[in-house]
Amino acid sequence: MTVSRSLLIAGFAACSSLVAAAEPALLIRCGRLIDGRAEQAAAGVDVQVVGGRITAIGKGLSAPPGARTIDLSNATCLPGFIDLHAHILINPGDVLADSLRKSSARKALEGLRNARVRLQNGFTTLRDPGDEDLYYSTIEIRDAIARGDFEGPRLFVAPHMISSTGGHGDFNDLAADLAIQIPNVVVDGPDAMRKAVREEIKHGADWIKLAATGGVMSAADDPRAQAFTDEEFRAAVDEAHRHGRKVTVHAIGAGGLKAALRAGVDCIEHGVLIDDEAIAMMKQRNVPLVPTIYVLDYIIEQGEKTGIPADRIAKARSLQAERDRAIRAAFAAGITIAFGSDTIFPHETANREFARMVRLGLSPMGAIKSATANAAGVLGIEKDTGTLEVGKRADVVAVPRDPLGDVTALESVSFVMKDGRVVRPAAEETR
């Protein structure tokens, strides 16, 4: 046998990969450009891409030798979007039984599909803040995309949401005499918390996620109640930080939110009932808020026809008016806002979060920055992506209209490039 094994493997990899090869050089002609830093859009700007990185930005650039020109002269170019609260394993219309009925392997396949839907809609980077899976399929999806086995968004993963007994991650409406292992992590006490954090890190967690309060989509728990003791929060943060991981928390009520902040968590999800004291603490400590506005509205507006149980819809209704006031106050106070969708709804509609942010007082540019520069800062990848600047990865999105005039333009992404590879070619009206 003279054919080397490595040659065979290389040949197999070359024809089996679903990822198109990057073009060596490209010139993108943008009608308008929002770079994620400046407060205004710039008209008629070109972006030069070589080897997957941005090598020049300016007016009237000439194409490098051999480069293809992409004409987006009728469109607005933006940095690739980042969603910090993407549940890629959840499918719209899933009920409790689906999470128990599907194997981890099936969840991995569905999660990969959902992640790719997000990429097609402009999200070049996602953070999954915990999904229901006995194993670690979101980690496998992250790694398969990073290896180049599949096209997909860059992923940062908290494998599970760590919850207390009877908390947001527990399955509280199962019969008391049904002894099954639920596909979530439920712990009580600081030692059990430390072990859970270590298990998550052992299996590849980038982030640790805790349920700091009860939730909306869970049965028989109180969204206003603090779910863990101060000691349990401190144990989680100490363990995660010692291993160089950040902690984010699901928080509806202000009490649990502030207990988590005092313990030193790095990020807050939802913040539905955030109060002035919590806002001041977040401002002082520079802790970002991921407000996930659309999901609560979706439960109220579409919950009945999509089969969401009535008690969950009632919970959402009981919070909406207070939520509107609380999130408006958080926006007005100028704390760091980062984009999160909380996709329990069709993944292609996650872009609706932008307009919901604007409805509660964020400017369209503020909403765009929340999903670009700000979210990159939360993930610690701001040197690499999140803005369109020379030296950064060529993660570029285009929409056919001006999103600063009409924020819903961000729901019609018509071109997507990730790492200099075109993953969604420009639609006719964009060119």
Which residue, 218 or 385, has its beta carbon nearer to Zn ion?
Answer: 218
- Candidates 17, 70, 1; CA nearest to 397 is 70
Cβ-Cβ contacts under 8 Å for 145 (sequence gap 6 or more): 112, 115, 151, 152, 153, 154, 155
**Residues whose CB falls within 8 Å of the CB of residue 45, separated by 6 or more in sequence, listed in order:** 30, 32, 33, 57, 58, 59, 77
Residues 212-241 interacting with Zn ion (rule: CB under 5 A): none
What is the C-alpha separation between 210 and 233, in angstroms, rounded? 9
Stretch that binds Zn ion, among 169-177, 337-345, 360-368, 383-391 (CB under 5 A): 337-345
> Which residue number has the CB closest to Zn ion?
342
> Which one, 127 or 392, has the nearer CB to Zn ion?
127
**Cα angle: 87, vertex 89, 235; to 5 degrees:** 60
Is the CB of 297 or the CB of 342 nearer to Zn ion?
342
- Burial label for 49, CB within 10 Å (0-12, 13-18, 19+), is buried
Nearest to Zn ion of 49, 141 (CB atom): 141
State the nearest-atom distance from the C-beta of 185 to Zn ion, in Å. 15
Q: How far apart are CA 107 and CA 238, in angstroms?
A: 31
Question: In the bound complex, what is the minimum distance in angstroms from residue 129's beta carbon to Zn ion?
Answer: 6
Q: How far is the CB of 294 from Zn ion (least distance, A)?
A: 12
Beta carbon of residue 169, minimum distance to Zn ion (angstroms, whole number)? 10
The one segment of 107-115, 136-144, 334-342, 376-384 that binds Zn ion by CB under 5 A: 334-342
Taking contact as CB under 5 A, which single stretch among the options 14-22, 176-184, 203-211, 341-349 is the one that binds Zn ion?
Answer: 341-349
Closest-CA residue to 399 (of 387, 380, 416, 386): 416
User: Between 19 and 219, whose beta carbon lies closer to Zn ion?
Assistant: 219
Q: 84 or 388, CB closer to Zn ion?
A: 84
**What is the identity of the amino acid at 397?**
V
> How does DSSP classify residue 425?
P
Give 274 or 394: the residue with its C-beta nearer to Zn ion. Answer: 274
Identified binder of Zn ion from the candidate list 46, 151, 200, 342, rule CB under 5 A: 342
Stretch that binds Zn ion, among 151-159, 200-208, 315-323, 335-343 (CB under 5 A): 335-343
The CB-of-342 to Zn ion minimum distance in angstroms stands at 4
Structure tokens at 333: 């106070």
- Least CB distance to Zn ion at residue 345 (A): 12
Question: Please, which residue, 299 or 358, has the CB nearer to Zn ion?
Answer: 299
| Whole-number CA gyration radius for the chain | 22
From the list 75-83, 144-152, 323-331, 340-348, the region that binds Zn ion by CB under 5 A is 340-348
Instruction: Determine the interface stretch with Zn ion among 46-54, 180-188, 342-350, 406-414 (rule: CB under 5 A).
Output: 342-350
Question: By CB under 5 A, is residue 133 in contact with Zn ion?
Answer: no
3-state secondary structure 71-132: EEEEEEEEECEEECCCCCCCCCCCCHHHHHHCCHHHHHHHHHHHHHHHHHCCEEEEEEECCC
Which CA distances in Å does 374 have to 79, 104, 163, 204? 12, 32, 27, 24
Whole-Å CA distances, 377 to 53, 96, 287, 351, 387: 19, 34, 11, 20, 11
Closer to Zn ion by Cβ: residue 70 or 139? 139
Minimum gap (Å) between residue 90 Cβ and Zn ion: 9
User: In terms of CB distance, is 85 or 418 closer to Zn ion?
Assistant: 85
Q: How many residues bind Zn ion (CB under 5 A)?
A: 1
User: Judged by CB, which is closer to Zn ion: 269, or 419?
Assistant: 269
- In the three-class reduction of DSSP (H, G, I as helix; E, B as strand; rest coil), residue 138 is classed as helix
Separation CA 327–CA 15 (nearest Å): 50
Q: How far is the CB of 338 from Zn ion (least distance, A)?
A: 14
Tell the smallest beta-carbon distance from residue 54 to Zn ion (Å): 32
For residue 423, give the DSSP letter.
Answer: E
Contact present, 34 and 404 (Cβ < 8 Å) = yes
Do 250 and 258 touch, CB atoms closer than 8 A? no
Smallest gap from Cβ 309 to Zn ion, in A, equals 17
φ and ψ of 72, to 5 deg: -115, 35
CB of 405 to Zn ion, least distance (A): 31
Residues in contact with Zn ion by CB under 5 A are 342
